[in-house]
Amino acid sequence: MIEESIGTAIAETLNELSPYGLDAWRSSPPVPVGDYSVRALVGVERPALEAAPVLGPDVVERVYVGTSLAAELIRGLCNAAYRALHILDTQAVSESPTVIVRTSAERLLDGIPSRLKTYLGGGIMDSLDRVSTMSYEGTGAAGSITFASVTADTIPDIRLSHSMRLSDHRGVRKLLEAARTGMTVLCDGASVIALDASVNYPDHLRARIHGRGLWTLEAATTAVLKVEDGRATLPATHLERAELEELLQRRLGVGVSDDLWSVVDAATASGHGTVLVIADDAPAEAQRLAGQSTLIEPTRLTMDAVLAVTALDGALLVEPDATCHSIGTILDGRADGSGSPSRGARFNSSSRYVADHGRAVAIVVSDDGMVDLVPHLRPRVSRDLVESIVRDLEASVEIDAQDGEPFGRAIGRLEGYEFYLSEEQCARAQASFDEVMSHRAIKIVRRPFEPDPRMDDSYFID
Compare 461 and 298 and report the one with higher pLDDT. 298
- What's the pLDDT at 338? 64
Q: φ, ψ for residue 346 (rounded to 5)?
A: -60, -50
- Cα separation, 331 vs 363, whole angstroms: 13
Is the model's pLDDT at 276 over the cut of 70? yes
pTM: 0.56
Compare 182 and 205 and report the one with higher pLDDT. 205
* Number of Cβ atoms within 10 Å of the Cβ of 59: 14
Angle (deg, nearest 10), helices 423-438 and 405-416: 150
Cis bond upstream, residue 375 (ω within 30): yes
pLDDT digits (tens, 9 = 90+) for 377-413: 888 888 998 999 999 888 888 765 555 677 877 887 8
What is the share, in percent, of the chain residues with pLDDT greater than 70? 92
CA 423, distance to chain mean position in Å, is: 33
For β-strands 191-196 and 158-165, DSSP reports them as: antiparallel
Compare 223 and 78 and report the one with higher pLDDT. 78
- What's the pLDDT at 282? 93
pLDDT digits (tens, 9 = 90+) for 244-261: 998 999 889 899 999 999
- Cα separation, 126 vs 110, whole angstroms: 10
pLDDT tier at 327, thresholds 50, 70, 90? very high
Compare 20 and 417 and report the one with higher pLDDT. 417
Nearest to 209 by CA among 280, 304, 123, 143: 143
CA-angle at 112, arms to 106 and 116, nearest 5°: 170
* Number of Cβ atoms within 10 Å of the Cβ of 175: 24
Is the model's pLDDT at 1 over the cut of 70? no
pLDDT digits (tens, 9 = 90+) for 350-376: 889 998 887 899 998 877 566 888 888
Lowest mean pLDDT across 94-98, 114-118, 169-173, 338-342:
338-342
- Maximum Cα–Cα distance across the chain: 77
Mean pLDDT of the chain: 84
Specify the CATH number of the domain 241-374. 3.40.1700.10
pLDDT digits (tens, 9 = 90+) for 110-150: 999 888 887 777 889 999 999 998 888 877 888 889 998 87
